[in-house]
Structure 1
Amino acid sequence: MTTHFLQVGEVRIAYDREGEGPPLVLMHGAEASRQMFAALVPHLSRHFTVIAYDQRDCGETEAPEHACTLSDLADDAQRFIGALGFKRAHVFGSSFGGRVAQALALLYPRAVDHLVLGSTWPLPRPIEELCPDARRLAELRRGLPGTAEELATWFFPESFLKQRPELRRIFANARPESARSARRLATVQTSLECGVADIVAPTLLPAGELDRVVPPSVTLAMAARIRGADAVLMPAVGHVTALQAPEVLARHMVRFLDPAGAIA
């Protein structure tokens, strides 16, 4: 797949585009890139024009080397959708990408058609307030690469890692902390004043039953705060649903975003 680049304000955004149909923008997690959606895109591109992009300080996207906020990432996303030629798009955000998606839906509601918030936690609350083990997770991240084996089990169930042992290397090969990764960490810790209850877009909340990073109860509880939201628990799946169960996740998304296509 050919990497595309688009200048959006001060940011040169790297992205992939595949398929035809209504636009669907994919937002990756805190330490990831658009590559986390490689297995998911083929299932979605049968129904949508799928755009997966790298956020600031991630992947191949280039941006000025200064701190940014969650609001800045929402601004980038809104401008990016417009620069692609779309007035609005469906949006799927995974983990911290779900926070970016929430921010976009709150700050630019006209830019979002339908919203899918996977394995994420609600604005404006910090993850440490909702997930008791968040501090342990932070310790494991700081201990890389020595903690790679344990950290991998937070993102994927042990049974899945036995099938895909190469995924352990994602953590073992983590680069030493850089200025870029430090900026990204600071960005992830920012929030908005408004909260998830103010989202007006139709919303789906998928969560993995075995998620240790963001307990599924945290994600599913958001359904009670977003008017008309739907929630789905994915059995035997961990945090990175797009990698572990792309076909199952895509089926839920297509059913929600394109009921006619799901039946066809």
Structure 2
Amino acid sequence: MRHATTSDGVRIAYQIEGQGPPLVLLSGQANDHHWWDGVRNDFHSAHSTLTLDYRGTGESDKPDQPYSTAGFAQDVIAVLDELGIDRADIYGTSMGGRVAQHLAARYPDRVGALVLGCTSPGGTHGIERDNEVRKSLAQPQPAARQALLELMYTPAWLATHQGPYNTLGDPDMPAYAKRRHLAASNQHDAWDILPDIAAPTLVLHGTDDRFNPAANAPLLAQRIPFASMHLIPGARHAYFEEFRAIASPLALDFLATARQR
């Protein structure tokens, strides 16, 4: 566990594993680097992996001030600067995909190839989850947790995997930081800058994702100039974990091909 300090004095915890060209893995809203624990090793055949704890999560500082996906992208740049990494591939899922959009559009010289998973352009163009999903997540605990599990994973997976589930949020995160993360994700709107993304891009999404509807995938793929799309049949929001046998090779093959261009 190491730390980088941002321009506004916030300490961001980061973690490096493996060897090879760097691949930055960006987790979902209100989650720390443990989001990737189940699949991180999949990428070490070809890459070193770099994760971080967003401000407000994990071992990073937790200032009670507004957060934004663009600000999280600046924090990623601070970590890359700390490590002397001029250019890295980026794989962001859920809110991490929103952060990755800002990285690729605003810092094009720092991004090699881009994978956007189960994410959205946000704003008025993004497709929001339906009211039934919202109501299920607003239930008292433990019903809300069960609803979130069922949005993340299929019944078959839940019946055979008892956890721990690392995609349900940082359990030690302060309540105010959770609210700040929710606001950052809800206020994301990258529609106008998506055409500025010059990196070769792969958009991945599960067809049965209701947490972040799969209809967002073609919006991104059509808006980003050098993008392709792959939908994983039957997968829900945590496609990258439950369907890792499909998703990880797709990402690795894409990154290898992009590197050869």
Q: TM-score, normalised by structure 2?
A: 0.87
**Preserved CA contact (<8 Å) 1:34 1:52:** yes
* 1:157 Cα deviation from its structure 2 partner: 1.0
Query: What is the aligned partner in structure 1 of residue 5 from structure 2?
Result: 7
Structure 1 position 192, deviation (Å): 4.4
Once residues 249 and 37 of structure 1 are traced to their aligned partners in structure 2, the CA distance between those partners, rounded to angstroms, is: 13
SS at match of 1:87: coil
Contact 2:30 2:173 in 1 (8 A): no
Give the CA deviation at 1:13. Answer: 1.5
Q: State the Cα distance separating 1:214 from its structure 2 match.
A: 1.7
**Paired residues, what number?**
257
Instruction: Supply the distance in 1 between the matched residues of 2:258 and 2:121 (Cα, whole angstroms).
Output: 30
User: What residue number does 1:249 align with?
Assistant: 247
Contact 2:18 2:49 in 1 (8 A): yes
TM-score (norm 1): 0.86
Instruction: Give the distance between the partners of 1:172 and 1:189, measured in 2 at CA.
Output: 16
1:121-140 aligned at under 5 Å gives the runs: 121-125=120-124, 127=126, 130-133=127-130, 135-140=131-136
User: Which of residues 231, 237, 249 is equivalent to 1:239?
Assistant: 237
Q: Structure 1 stretch 75-84 or stretch 142-151: which is displaced more?
A: 142-151
In the alignment, the residues of structure 1 paired with residue 152 and residue 159 of structure 2 have an alpha-carbon distance, to the nearest angstrom, of: 13
1:27-63 deviation line (CA, Å, top 9, x unaligned)? 1001322111112211101101110111111222114
Query: CA shift at 1:190, angstroms?
Result: 2.1
Distance 1:226 1:105 in 2: 10
Question: Which of 153, 159, 162 is the aligned partner of 2:159?
Answer: 162
Structure 2 runs not aligned, ≥5 long: none
Say whether residues 1:146 and 2:128 are aligned partners. Answer: no
Kindly report which structure 2 residues correspond to 1:17-166, keeping only aligned pairs within 5 A, or say none. 17-125=16-124, 127=126, 130-133=127-130, 135-147=131-143, 148-166=145-163
On the 8 A contact 2:207/2:214 being kept in 1, the answer is yes
**Which range is displaced more, 48-57 or 161-170?**
161-170
Whole-angstrom distance in 2 between the partners of 1:173 and 1:69 = 18
Unaligned 5+ segments in structure 1 are: none
In 2, the alpha carbon distance for the partners of 1:175 and 1:88 equals 32
For 1:202, give the aligned amino acid.
Answer: P
- Give 1:168 deviation, angstroms: 6.9
Whole-Å Cα distance in 1 between the matches of residues 75 and 189 of structure 2?
Answer: 15
Residues 85 and 199 from structure 1, CA distance in 2 versus in 1: closer, same or farther, beyond 3 angstroms?
Answer: same
Shift in CA distance, 197/123, structure 1 to aligned 2, threshold 3 Å = farther
Q: 1:236 Cα shift?
A: 2.7
Secondary structure in structure 2 of the residue aligned to 1:195: helix
Structure 1, residues 100-158: CA drift from partner, whole Å, max 9, x if none? Answer: 0001111211111111000011144475xx1341x443433332413222231111111
Q: Aligned equivalents of 1:115 and 1:121: distance in 2?
A: 14
Amino acid at match of 2:133: L
Q: Following TM superposition, by how much is the alpha carbon of 1:175 offset from its aligned partner in structure 2, in angstroms? A: 7.2
